[in-house]
Amino acid sequence: MILHEISKKNKRMRNILILILLAGVTISCSDSNSQSKNEGITISGTVVNPGTGLITLEKMNRESTEPVDTVYVNDDNTYSLVFDGEAGFYRMNFFNQQAATVILDQDNLTLNYDGNNAGGAIAPEGSREMKMIEEFFTTVNNEFGPKEKEINEAFVAANQAGEKAKVDEERDKYMALIKEKQVFSADLIRTYDVNLGTYQLVSSLDKDNQLELKDSLAQVLNEKYPGRFYIEDLVATMEKARATAIGSLAPEISLPNPDGEIVTLSSLRGSVVLLDFWAQWCKPCRVENPHVVKAFNRYKDKGFTVYGVSLDRTKEKWTQAIEEDGLTWTHVSDLKYFNSVAAQMYGVQSIPFSILLDRDGKIIAKNLRGSALEKELEKFFEAEM
**Helices 283-299 and 315-325, axial angle in degrees (round to 10):** 50
Q: What is the mean pLDDT of the chain?
A: 87
pTM, full prediction: 0.72
Least confident of 90-94, 137-141, 172-176, 308-312: 172-176
Is it the case that residue 121 has pLDDT exceeding 70?
Answer: no
pLDDT score recorded for residue 28: 31
pLDDT score recorded for residue 9: 36
Positive or negative: CA dihedral 339, 341, 345, 346: negative
pLDDT score recorded for residue 39: 67
- What is the maximum alpha-carbon separation in the chain? 83
**Torsion, Cα of 177, 183, 187, 189 (10° steps):** 90
CB under 8 Å to 187, separation ≥6 — which residues? none
Least confident of 6-20, 78-92, 237-251, 301-315: 6-20
pLDDT digits (tens, 9 = 90+) for 29-42: 333 334 444 468 99
pLDDT digits (tens, 9 = 90+) for 217-269: 999 999 999 999 999 999 998 998 888 999 999 999 999 999 999 999 999 99
